[in-house]
Structure 1
Amino acid sequence: MSDAVTGGGTPTGGAPMDRMTDGAAGAAPESGAAPAQHDKEPTAPVRASGLRTALRRLGRLVAVHPFTAGLTTLILVLALVTGPIHGPHRPLRVWLGAGPVQLIDGHWWSPITAVLFTDNLAELIVVLVLVVVLVGASERLMGTWRTALAFFATSAAAIAAGIGMQLLGSQTGELWARNVHHLVVLDVFTGIAGTIMTASAFAGTLWRRRIRVITLLVAIMYLLYSGLPSDLYRLLAVLAGFGLGVLLRPHARAAGWLRSSHHEVRVLLASAVTITALGPVIGLLTQSRFGMLSPIGLLFSNDVPDSGSVLERCQAFAVTRACVQDLTLERINGLGPVLISVLPLLTLLVAAYGLLRGRRFAVWLAVAVNALLAVLSALYFGILPFADPRPTVSPRYWEVTIILALSALVPAAMAVLLVIYRRHFSVLATARSVRRYVLTVVLTGVGLVALYVLVGWVQKDYGFTRPIDIGDLLNDVLERFIPVSFLRREPLQYLPTTPLATIVYHNIGTVFWLVVILAAVPFMFGGGAWRRSSGDAGRVRTLLERGGGDAISFMATWPGNSYWFDSTTSGAVAYRVVGRVALTTGAPFGAPQAEHDGIIERFARFCDDSGWVPVFYSVDAAYQPLFDRMGWSTMTVAEETVIRPQQWATTGKKWQDVRSSINRAQRAGIRSEWTTFAALPLSTAVQLSDISEQWVAEKDLPEMGFTLGGLDELHDPAVRLMLAVDEAGRVEGVTSWLPSYRDGRVVGWTLDFMRRRPGSINGVMEFLIAEAATRMKEDGVEFMSLSAAPLAHTAGTPDEGKSGMDRVLGYLSTSLEPVYGFRSLLKFKQKFQPELHPLIMAYPDAVALPAIGVGLVRAYLPDLSVRQAAALAVGRG
């Protein structure tokens, strides 16, 4: 922007196998048997192939987004030609830019050319990124011709309307219009803002609302705190984009159930608090002083005026910009005053995070800070003239007075909104913790006040610019806690001169606000209003034995899970909260299948009320119609492999590998044992531990958890083990099986833990599964689930149709494949000719995908170190 002066798949149940897949035909080599690398000649063809692939992808992107590609290229070429470092120089800038003077001079093209040039290199980089991301997304939503129309039409209309408003204001003597009359605008952001606002009409309901609210708020904040003509044009472009979007798509409708409104209110209010908190930062960083709320930007100025009679001229309803500037600068001396102006804004950002998570405490914290800022603005800018009960409004200064009044109205309006919508924030802190917080803040404030008075009294005769008394200290102490941008109408009475007095004078407010923030952090980042009851484990066992769950429901008994019990039915959901994401362990259980739809909807509302993002993870695709009705997004994360033991047979050509493995094991004298961990001899239990530890030691990443059981999960007496034991009693391999119940009877078993001893014969896993199937056939078991191959499934999605989460999980699968061999595991399971049942992940809001992705990684790899995470990110195998 330039305003220049003219003239100046995640893993699911089923533990991964060893690095090798057993089988008669083509077993993978053992560790240490890596293929020899004789030379590096294939590197060049591989690189050439990679370059060709990249170029093909780029070509597809250009073909899908021709306007975005053309606009990006045009902006880049024009910047290189006219000067990428400092933008077009003055004669060319005046000819290309937009402004009242240019329009009067007949530059009819300026509303179009003004949105094609940038002012400096940093702005050029930001513009190119935003064009690719935002304009590209807009083109994907509404097509090429609509995007081109939106970019240029909203820009031209906004700039023309804005110039008209400036000319009208100049003719009527309006202060702002006169001050900015000679500024020339070059601003690509105007076109971008109009484009994304137009595209919002083509987005889904949630994104449509968010794009409109957030874009409008950002544009308003820039106008209030920066106040350049480009900020006005940008706001008008946003409004024009809204109107154009309605014209292009007048009948956009909301489809599907959009969850409780709590979550959306939280997102919007948290965004509003964040944007209003960052608004003053615009004033701090911008070079402009034209914004209505720009006085806070004076904090970064270096010129400190002498105290004098000029300060005494700043009276209520007679405030000039020069007097406001002098008042602000007089109080700046060191880092402390700057920090005390920033820390209340940081407090609002902390509160905004709490709002996003549904914390009622965050509501009242944000209300308190906003109310404080509103009152301080009204008092210190002279809006509440207590000194003169009958003030006379000077016509000369009425505009400045209104501008300063806005500094009180903006935080006041935000506080009122938060109070009105407080019911949407239902996560309540305990009364004890709130009392502790209030007591901490109050005692800190009292202690700092006492410290200031004590130090001042000790140095009253020599520590300040004049001798002071206790009355001076008490009258001044509260100002030490107030952001320096809120200016008193009277001049300063004294300043510190000694090091100790200076430190206390400038920093007690900083210490106070730091305590306010740090004491509030646990309320925003804590675990929420839930506790796991000691009786939950027994209750869950009872519900599991009743039935009504899926193949992985028994994983609900594992450590780390929390439980939600449905008060309407007998069902329950097992879940774990990672960050602000509540990941379920499969589908509901303990209730008939017909009642699951209601259970899922009520659990989603429970999560929404708790400030969590509900994610139904690794549930059967049969729930897809329900999630479609709810308006949720879904994706396939794995495929469950199911065998029917009553139909088990290994005849036919397709079973050749399995038969060969069984025969090989029998010839080697290996037998199977169907048992439990408690029944194992100590020597056998030690062998299982040894096998597991060797398997983990081979991996560059820690053992995975969540829906992947480890050695600890074998100890459950309900879990069955199938062991492969040789004639000497040495365990060659082990599998574990989790029960599925109906009316207290086991009707199925699900494969979980799989380990084999390094160096054991090929085919030992095929042997174990075949023996388990035979045993289950004898026991009359209805189904045998080989569980799902984590991060691997046969349901492929074309590159063009892949979502962001598809790509993230694909990347994760590729990264983990050399370590855990998930795709090899799926291929291994397909030897048993199973039924393939897709398992899906359902989530309510695509904006939470980054948090969901992080939550899944943390759930599966809770012990992942920074080094291992870096290796995972760069080492894709």
Structure 2
Amino acid sequence: MTRSRRITPSQAVSALRRIPATLTMVGLILLVGVASRGLWMPFEDADLFETVAYGLPNLSDGRWWTPVTGTFFIGQPWVYAITIASFWGMGYLEFRRGSRVALAYFWVGQLFAVLATALTLLLLSQVPWAWAQTQAQSLDVGASGGTMACIAAAVGLFRAPWRVRGWLVLLGFVFVMMLFWGAVDDLEHLLAVLLILVTDRSLRVRRTTVREQRLIAVIAVIALTAAEIITILLPTDGPFGPTEPVSGGVVDVAIDVAVVLLIVRGLRRGRRWSWVLAIILGALNVLGGVLVLTLIMLTSAAELESVIYGETELSLASAFLWLLVLIYLIVVRRAFRAKRSSKLGIQPAPTLADLLRTLRAHGGGTLSWMTTWEGNSYAGTTGGIVAYQRRGGVALALADPIGPAETRAAAVEEFIHTAENAGLVPCFFSADDATRAAVPDTWRSLVVADDTIVDLPGLSFTGKRWNSVRTSLNKAGREEMTFRLTHLKSEPWGVQQQLRAISEAWVGDKDLPEMRFTLGTLDEAEAHEVRLALAVAPNGDVDGFLSWLPIYGEGGVVRGWTLDLMRRREGGFGPVMEYLIGSSATQFSEEGCEIMSLSGAPLAHDYPPDAGMIAALSDRLAEALEPVYGFGSLHRFKQKFHPRYETMYLLFRDESDLAAIGGALTRAFLPDATLRQFAGAGLELVRGPRD
């Protein structure tokens, strides 16, 4: 099952061939670095620097060539590593859109950054602003204006929601660098990014979901708080003036950090109280900045700093950033209405009886009966009913919505909407292709299993490919085994006790308890609708048993059965499982059923060769869990019945939700497991398969 998916040398060479312009630019910069000795000596100290460097002084002197020549030089040797790394944006852009587009973005961004910076400093230096007058006399070299433009354009190619997140990180970086350090290259970076922001218009915050609006707020307050901490510890020299490390404002920053730590989780889940505290915190910072600015205008920064304990420059810069965050929080205020006890779906919520009526009326899939099990809650929608479990901030929907097929999309949409408004992470586990098509286009899907379907009409165990099943049936006949389809509650007390003893012996052999969620126990098998297949030895011992869950079609007709429990007695009839499944299939076929599902074996999907990282991760996880649960061997066993496969998916918003979903699934499958049992299972994984 394991397949190698490492990038081969030929694939790497093929990828490099698609970015010739990027490699050429990097090569030219390195070549110029060798020729100018800038790779090992500071080029800023060389005599050639003033001739090739760009900036307002050289442009004023008529050195029109400097925006081009200065691109290929680097001021300090250590900056080469950063410059070369920053070409990733151009490489990505070229790989996706071609060399001409990448070169256009680079050179337009580079020339615009240089010329717009010179013009901006020319205008600002006309007023008595020390920072502007100082930077207007500065010269610079490097390709960072072009590379930042390419990075911005590359971020615009990201798929949602990473595009918005990438833009926020990039804008946060250039604004913080500009406000707190504000060198001429920082202004170039800011203008290059703003150029792409305006021209590409790939940042559309208003179109983001409620969940994304909350995430943006969290990122903004965390990034701003981190910037405040950094600027307290490091010297700055931005447009508002220079500061010294730990020169004041420590108490203010400590208060901000404490409040942010208190509210960040609530903001992520859309709690109103967290939003109110964030508004208050932002307003206090903005008012503090306004007060400082007013007092500076009435007195001076030096006089004010002699009275207050703090740097006026940091207060003004922080107030400006908090103003931006405050405006955003007000604009997206509707995203913060979630309550801790928020109900999902139409109220009052459907009951189990409502679910059963809907399931029998409209039918369901092979896992639909599992939605009736204890532990599930029900969200009513105009398109049906969604069964889910609420675990660790995740609304974990089980299988597919129950209801008419034509309203599936409406049910999925409403469930997602109500879950997000409640501050929960919505996802669907073991969903089919129809549900996958109903989720938003930006959602991701991950194959979690292959449902193994045996078509029953005309089934007969003849021919060479059925040898193993036929041999098991014949052997059972010779040993006078008895097959019986029954109900658990219909069996005598002695038989029920045998079944429980077999099940308890199976569980006792595991380091973890019986799994739940999509795997039932004898408690779930007690339902009258569930059937049990028994293999009884001549002496009356039950050597093995299966439980079958009904698959409903429209009008309450049972059109098939899904395999749930598989248990055998130690030392009993050898091929008891083949015998039980084969005998069950024969009887179901005689009853007129359409299908028999052997259920899905998790982490046992056969991925196509180009599946990439997801397939590699699934393979490794399957290998690790094989000693504990044997998913791979179960999958191979089911292949004896030559089923067809229907893919089952985990549907989720994006990769950032996977950590929370993983924790929720762990608790859904193992709700009663203790830390000690998890530790024991971990040791089993380390030991590997038993002989």
Indicate whether the TM-score tops 0.5.
Answer: yes
CA distance in 2, matches of 1:61, 1:565: 49
CA distance in 1, matches of 2:288, 2:662: 43
**Aligned with residue 647 of structure 2, among 818, 823, 838:** 838
- CA pair 111-76 structure 1, distance change in 2 beyond 3 A: closer
Deviations 1:697-718 (A, max 9, x none): 6556665433223454334443
**Aligned with residue 119 of structure 1, among 78, 99, 116:** 78
Partner of 1:235: 190
Partner of 2:466: 655
CA distance in 2, matches of 1:763, 1:82: 79
**Aligned with residue 719 of structure 1, among 520, 530, 537:** 530
**Aligned with residue 608 of structure 2, among 782, 788, 797:** 797
Does residue 269 of structure 1 match 2:217? yes
- Aligned pair count? 672
- CA pair 427-272 structure 1, distance change in 2 beyond 3 A: same
Deviations 1:2-39 (A, max 9, x none): xxxxxxx9xxxxxxxxxxxxxxxxxxxxxxxxxxxxxx
Does residue 588 of structure 1 match 2:401? yes
**SS of residue matched to 2:282:** helix
CA distance in 2, matches of 1:72, 1:755: 64
Q: Please list, as runs of the form range in 1=range in 2, the aligned pairs for 1:580-659 lying within 5 A after superposition.
A: 580-589=393-402, 591-627=403-439, 632-659=443-470
Partner of 2:333: 422
Offset at residue 143 of structure 1 (A): 4.0
- CA pair 425-245 structure 1, distance change in 2 beyond 3 A: same
CA distance in 1, matches of 2:389, 2:25: 46
Offset at residue 585 of structure 1 (A): 0.7
In structure 2, give the amino acid aligned to 1:582.
A
**SS of residue matched to 2:238:** coil
Contact kept, 8 Å, 1:115 with 1:190, in 2: the verdict is: no
Contact kept, 8 Å, 1:641 with 1:834, in 2: the verdict is: yes
Does residue 788 of structure 1 match 2:597? no
**Aligned with residue 582 of structure 2, among 745, 765, 770:** 770
**SS of residue matched to 2:534:** strand
**Aligned with residue 91 of structure 1, among 45, 52, 56:** 45
- CA pair 789-358 structure 1, distance change in 2 beyond 3 A: same
**Aligned with residue 558 of structure 2, among 746, 751, 756:** 746
Partner of 1:221: 176
CA distance in 2, matches of 1:705, 1:73: 58
Contact kept, 8 Å, 1:115 with 1:189, in 2: the verdict is: no
Offset at residue 751 of structure 1 (A): 0.8
In structure 1, give the amino acid aligned to 2:337.
S
Contact kept, 8 Å, 1:205 with 1:253, in 2: the verdict is: no
CA distance in 2, matches of 1:871, 1:139: 47
Deviations 1:808-861 (A, max 9, x none): 444433433454333333333232233332333433445545544554455445
Offset at residue 529 of structure 1 (A): 5.1
Runs of 5+ consecutive residues of structure 2 not aligned to the other structure: 305-310
Contact kept, 8 Å, 1:78 with 1:117, in 2: the verdict is: no
Does residue 813 of structure 1 match 2:622? yes
Contact kept, 8 Å, 1:199 with 1:245, in 2: the verdict is: no
In structure 2, give the amino acid aligned to 1:536.
T
Partner of 1:347: 259
- Identity over aligned pairs, percent: 31
CA distance in 2, matches of 1:667, 1:70: 78
CA distance in 2, matches of 1:115, 1:127: 8
Deviations 1:160-190 (A, max 9, x none): 4324434554465531133446767677765
**SS of residue matched to 1:727:** coil
Q: Please list, as runs of the form range in 1=range in 2, the aligned pairs for 1:15-54 lying within 5 A after superposition.
A: none
In structure 2, give the amino acid aligned to 1:575.
Y
Contact kept, 8 Å, 2:113 with 2:188, in 1: the verdict is: yes
Offset at residue 364 of structure 1 (A): 0.9
Does residue 280 of structure 1 match 2:228? yes
**SS of residue matched to 2:632:** helix
Contact kept, 8 Å, 2:67 with 2:111, in 1: the verdict is: no
Deviations 1:476-500 (A, max 9, x none): xxxxxxxxxxxxxxxxxxxxxxxxx
**Aligned with residue 706 of structure 1, among 497, 508, 517:** 517
In structure 2, give the amino acid aligned to 1:587.
D
Partner of 1:469: none
Deviations 1:67-109 (A, max 9, x none): 6778889999999999999985763698497666677787555
- CA pair 118-602 structure 1, distance change in 2 beyond 3 A: farther
Offset at residue 367 of structure 1 (A): 0.7
Offset at residue 683 of structure 1 (A): 5.3
Contact kept, 8 Å, 1:183 with 1:229, in 2: the verdict is: yes
| Alignment root-mean-square deviation, CA | 4.7
Offset at residue 238 of structure 1 (A): 0.7
Q: Please list, as runs of the form range in 1=range in 2, the aligned pairs for 1:266-345 lying within 5 A after superposition.
A: 266-292=214-240, 298=244, 300-301=245-246, 328=248, 337=250, 341-345=253-257
Contact kept, 8 Å, 1:271 with 1:352, in 2: the verdict is: no
Deviations 1:189-229 (A, max 9, x none): 65553223112443446444443344223321221233233
Contact kept, 8 Å, 2:624 with 2:688, in 1: the verdict is: yes
CA distance in 2, matches of 1:763, 1:828: 11
**SS of residue matched to 1:665:** helix
Offset at residue 769 of structure 1 (A): 0.7
In structure 2, give the amino acid aligned to 1:198.
A
CA distance in 2, matches of 1:138, 1:648: 55
Offset at residue 651 of structure 1 (A): 1.6
Deviations 1:526-549 (A, max 9, x none): x75569999834443443344432
- CA pair 608-395 structure 1, distance change in 2 beyond 3 A: closer
Offset at residue 587 of structure 1 (A): 0.9
**SS of residue matched to 1:647:** coil
**Aligned with residue 364 of structure 2, among 520, 531, 549:** 549
- CA pair 640-401 structure 1, distance change in 2 beyond 3 A: closer
**Aligned with residue 380 of structure 2, among 548, 556, 565:** 565
Contact kept, 8 Å, 2:344 with 2:419, in 1: the verdict is: no
CA distance in 1, matches of 2:263, 2:29: 39
Deviations 1:339-376 (A, max 9, x none): x6234235335534433322222211211111222233
In structure 2, give the amino acid aligned to 1:428.
K
Deviations 1:566-595 (A, max 9, x none): 2x35x2101123444422111111x22222
Contact kept, 8 Å, 1:635 with 1:806, in 2: the verdict is: no
Offset at residue 671 of structure 1 (A): 2.5
- CA pair 405-76 structure 1, distance change in 2 beyond 3 A: same
CA distance in 2, matches of 1:864, 1:193: 50
TM-score between the two structures when normalised by the length of structure 1 = 0.65
Does residue 822 of structure 1 match 2:635? no
**Aligned with residue 357 of structure 1, among 266, 269, 276:** 269
**Aligned with residue 154 of structure 2, among 199, 215, 239:** 199
**SS of residue matched to 1:383:** helix
Runs of 5+ consecutive residues of structure 1 not aligned to the other structure: 1-8, 10-45, 247-251, 302-324, 330-336, 386-390, 430-526
CA distance in 1, matches of 2:303, 2:336: 42
CA distance in 2, matches of 1:624, 1:282: 44
In structure 1, give the amino acid aligned to 2:449.
A
**SS of residue matched to 2:236:** coil
Partner of 1:377: 289
In structure 2, give the amino acid aligned to 1:230.
D
In structure 2, give the amino acid aligned to 1:551.
T
Contact kept, 8 Å, 1:102 with 1:110, in 2: the verdict is: no
